[in-house]
Amino acid sequence: MRFLITGATGLVGRELVKLCSEQHIEVHFLSTSKDKLDSIQGAKGFYWNPKEEEIDIDCFAGVSDIINLAGAPIAKRWSKSYKKKIVSSRIQSLKTLMKGLKSSGNTSISNFVSASAIGIYPDSPSTFYTEEDLEIGEGFAAEVVELWEAEAAKFKDIVSQLAIIRIGLVLSERGGALVEMARPVKLYAGAAFGSGTQWQSWIHIRDLSRMIHYICKNRLEGIFNGVAPNPVTQTKLLKEVAKILSRPLFLPNIPKSIIRLILGEMSSIVLSSQRVSSKKIESKGFDFEYQNICRALEHIYASDQ
């Protein structure tokens, strides 16, 4: 197997490259910086510029699986210009891959796996969402995911299997939302946002990379929720973080009005509630190493103890 990975220098991408190395899978990756083509040990970099739909088609040589993780971070204040960047970075990456793959002459791609997000599901305090739920949420986050998945779906015509992974809150000690949530807890200033009862559908970064590899190895297709089996409320998550870090959690919740004032439209990321099921990928035989939030956090913060 040889993987071509976009977004390989990101949080999830680096973990996936690490797993590929363990599994003796060759990796090609794409970078928008020519200076970073040798930045990932054990992987071969190729230049691309999705804004101009430019791509080095040599990146497709011998590739059996393409994993698309490219896209501008969504956890940044949503100005009008940045919202355009969030959308274009995802759509243009897919368009450029499509154009390059058609030009490359590689007709033996077994799997195309594209990242997506659980933000497509509506905000709900009680619904347990599965991949069969077709209702789409309101707001910018859901709009982005809908466009993202529609563009990825076009690959059905040129690859053997297409899979889309709707990723939840990725837990890692190296970056992402958990680091930002844990920072105030470490400073004795942790507090839940809004009611704190909103559901957080999370996944340990190791399990997410394992899931991507599992989908490729077993040639699975369709939409899969990239979440662990046991979602928790935001208050529960913060309490467990505080417990593992030996910090008290005594401050009152931060009111929604304050969060909206500080974050603007982006506040929907931390205030919305999506309780999402992992049953579909489990039914395909995938086993999670980290099913419960306590064990996941213990592993993540083991080096801090």
- Write out pLDDT tens, residues 42-61: 899 999 999 999 999 999 99
Q: Taking residues 227-252, what's their average pLDDT?
A: 96
Tokens read off for 165: 């992974």
Read off the pLDDT band of 260 (50, 70, 90).
very high
The pTM (predicted TM-score) of the whole model is: 0.95
Structure confidence at residue 302 (pLDDT)? 85
Q: Are 268 and 139 in contact (CB under 8 A)?
A: yes
**Distance (Å, rounded) from C-alpha 54 to C-alpha 92?**
10
For the chain, the structural domain boundaries read: 2-237+261-304
Structure confidence at residue 305 (pLDDT)? 47
**Distance (Å, rounded) from C-alpha 152 to C-alpha 148?**
6
Q: Are strands 111-117 and 65-68 parallel, antiparallel or unpaired?
A: parallel
Q: Taking residues 219-241, what's their average pLDDT?
A: 97
Asked if residue 304 has pLDDT above 70, the reply is no
Residue 126: count of CB within 10 angstroms of its CB? 7
Model confidence pLDDT, tens digit, residues 171-212: 999 888 899 889 999 999 999 999 999 999 999 999 999 999
- Give the 3-state secondary structure of residue 247: coil
Structure confidence at residue 76 (pLDDT)? 87
Please enumerate in sequence order all residues whose Cβ is within 8 A of that of 265, keeping only pairs 6 or more positions apart, or say none.
Answer: 78, 139, 140
Structure confidence at residue 303 (pLDDT)? 55
Q: Specify the CATH number of the domain 2-237+261-304.
A: 3.40.50.720
Q: Give the residue from 199, 210, 204, 209 showing the smallest Cα distance to 171.
A: 204
Tokens read off for 153: 């779906």
Q: Taking residues 136-147, what's their average pLDDT?
A: 96
Asked if residue 160 has pLDDT above 50, the reply is yes
